[in-house]
Structure 1
Amino acid sequence: MADVERRLVAIFAADVEGYSRLMGCDEVGTLRNLTDRRKILDALISAHRGRIANTAGDSVLAEFASAVDAVQCAVEAQTAWVNANDQLPPDRRINFRIGVHIGDVMVRAGDLFGDGVNIAARLQSSATTDGICISSAAHEQVKKLLPLTFVDLGMQYLKNIEPIRAYAVSVAAAPSQAARLADAQKPLALPDKPSIAVLPFQNLSGDPEQEYFADGMVEEIITALSRFHWLFVIARTSTLAYRSRTVDVRQVSRELGVRYVLEGSVRKAGNRVRITGQLIDATTGAHLWADRFEGSLENVFELQDQVASGVVGAIDPKLREAETARSKRKPPANLDAYDCVLRAYALLHQWTNESSEEALRLLYKAIELDPDYAQAYSLATWCYCNRKLNGLATEPDNERRETARLAREAVRLGKDDAFSLCWAGHSLVMVVGELEEGAALIDRALASNPNHAMSWGLSGWTRIWLNQPEIAIEHFARAMRLSPLESSFHQFEAGIAFAHIRAHRYGEALLWAEKALRDQPNAPDAAMAVAVGSALVGDLEKAKRAMKRVLEITPGRRVSTVVGPGRHGRFTDALRKAGMPE
């Protein structure tokens, strides 16, 4: 048969238990509730790269290229359905049973046929209420890859099928409505680091196709947020329960044990789509950030990536800002390691010698309180970078060794944490003089979390020292696009200025340097870029004014402390012409 294709797939069969009884009791209500459940299932099948082959009202047959995707989809669906059922009386609940098998199937006109389909259907009928039953073939593929509990059901004698070993997948039941009401009085304890839940985005388009787009975007955002190791991110399987429900964010905070909630909506108009998002402190109801994104549906996956990247880049500094403000309200005697790091981070962004020294003291206290805190070590290396640059290093050799020790501890403890890796790499370049090793660590940070703006910014500085100004400008621009609210934004602008200086484009360098100095008048690097750029175009009066500002902010800066790896004669001569001491 020329129109029949054979292939090996994971077959997913789902069916409603007692569908005829439910229809006999309440046709309208059953159809409405079934439609809601199907929206959840259809979105999950799409999100897990599956394809619906056939549907007959209360049943769904789908295929997946991977058994892992099929079983994960089944688990997420049952979890979401159990939570949705909690709103209904017991005799009106829509309970699905699911079977999953790996087998050879025939495909004709998109539909599936063959023994593989029959086995999945028989397994589905053998599953318990709200349960999942999988074949031994599927179990072999998923048992080591999914953190689930599998119960060996032994050999199953299915109708018209040779005996087959089957396994039940344990899906933890959601708390009952009564239990949740009780829990409202006893909210979940907040984790010891910032916690966030991304709720399903509302589809305001009236177009069911946009449900898939919105769900995919939420999954992208959750994945991107999960790469920030200082964040506790609720899994999507838990937030799916809030789909199509009007909820109070304070209730979400109590039920999921989170401080922050991200919610949003999708609206389609012609071939354009508009996405809005807002970040809320769920414990107080305060809005911390809101924005909207627009694009063409022609490149829908690219648009998802852009929105996820934009949302994550924008809320990262907002969350840190909110957490820092919260920490400042605590008495100093009650500070733990996390609070010390938050306060140190804020002090380092004041760009003064005094604030940097106080930050270093707090970071050593954090390390004493928690010797395994990778980010405390990495931020301490930032302080030593400032000490070297600003002429505060009284024992340079000892500080070089201490910086190397802190950097390597940060890497050991935070081997896949972009924040720790990028600052450790930067300090090895700046203080220790290990350019290649430091650059490699920053590259690791970018691979670990491509949404971390500071990693791109520090990569930009490293590219300048590697004499790659064009790549440096690209990386600084990426940092600025990712995090337009970043408190170090002016540092990225100053970096672009120095990259243009390296490329002999002094006029462009001055434009960027002056913009950086306007954005942060206390930024010594911005003032120094103005001084160097002005000296290189022959405006010595302006160069000396700018250098005077540099030395007012950081009196200890000297040519010997500023000239780093890869710096050449033009740069050093410009510093001297502008009036920087040796």
Structure 2
Amino acid sequence: MRYFFEDYSFDTEKRELRRRSEIVPTTPQVFDLLEYLIRNRDRVVSKDDLVTSIWNGRAISDAALTTRLNAARTAIGDSGGEQRLIKTLPRKGLRFVGSVSEVPEPIYGAVTDGSVESPEASLALPDKPSLAVLPFANLSLDPDQDYFADGMVEDIITGLSRSKSLFVIARQSTFTYKGKATDVQKVGRELGVRYVLEGSVRKEGNRVRISGQLIDATTGLHLWADRFDSQLEDVFDLQDRVACSVIGAISPRVERAEIERAKRKPTESLTAYDYYLRALSCNYRNTRAGNDEGLKLIKVASSIDPEFAATYALGANLHAQRKACGWSIDPALERAEASQLANRAIELDRDDPLVLAMVGDALAYVLGKVEEGTDLILRAIELDPNHANARLWGGWAHLWLGDGDAAVQQFQDMLRLSPLDPRAYSAHSGLGFAHFFAGRHDDALASATIAIRLQPSFLGAHYIRTASHAMSGRLEDAQAACAALMQLSPALCVSLIERRPRPFRKADVEKLTQAFRIAGMPD
């Protein structure tokens, strides 16, 4: 079990206490004392309880117990005078009063740049056959063809994820292994899958070759390997052959309809497809320059093939990224462009989950058409239950509609489908909002704390940390959290939040602003 509170992580399996990334030395008895208090934080623990559990009933003096208690407080930055985390109740006992996030499965390590460290324990295997597709090696003579190899893998993942008989890990998690030497069995444990597909792509002139091998990650045994060759103009058929071969190897009795669902030919133009893959690569760079370049490439791709629905959907999604990251220059113009792209995409294809999910997010977030956008996202999830992005966007959309329970479920599903996702901070922030609006302030704080650990500059997580402290009556902590928030956004004030057009319901915004006033945010 791993517990998180403030800047600390407490791992009972490794018997490690860490502050951020640094190990805090503790003696065995001090560690046991902390573990007992944290595990039993829902009640007051008596001296007899401690003696029975930690010292096996042996007699221990009050002075010795006080020494261990002081050492425990020192280890977690507390003191007998402050009693911020461990509170002494005279003549009754002790209680751990800090807000704790309890994580029975892997959680992401401390980071400062938004990336996510690999979890160290195993995730439980899903009930259905589970698969991760690792980035394929680019064996082309031109290293700049990485985007093409990556695009091939992404489309194979997309095809496989449409099979409702499989559990397929999202691209955002598997691509964290790109360029690294990997132990397939370790990957299986980290991602919680039974099967791992790895391989290579070679593109030379008008020829493409994909080589792949399927491995049982629980045993390390190779189950299947093959090589697929085709002309470049048959690249979609090539992807289909890989996806269908993998499905057949994993689930030989799967219905033919499941295999057919994996097949899709998005465009007749290889040139348009190439520009689409370049734009997709720009999207994953998650930079302003990448966003600008991606939108330009989208215009080129759509001019070559005006019927290529995914191109328009990706363009709408790039506008959502633009708004989320604060890169907008002319919001009114960009909303109009996003609307045009979204409408054209959905006009061309209402059955592609990729199109539905990207358009749904743009409608809900950029254009404020939350109900319409949510319907499209839910339709995408119905068609592709493995679509982690749709789960993330669906979580936020449900949150904006005021359906907190549905939002929590979608965020949790996203985190399982993509355990190493660089945007996990967004899901944890969303969980924080959902818990806060439901009045679960300690749960909200725990989620916000994880989100800030993953992405220290994400404002939404700081909102919830500040608001949760305020509504829980921890005024000093609320003021400190508010100061940290204001340092990130100096112009922030309550009236600005009230005036700013946001997808949240008015009642939910009022809950936030009430908390911000308590925390000392200026009007």
TM norm structure 1: 0.42
Structure with greater strand percent: 1
TM norm structure 2: 0.46
Relative contact order (alpha carbons < 8 A, sep ≥ 6): 1 or 2 greater?
2
Larger Rg: 1
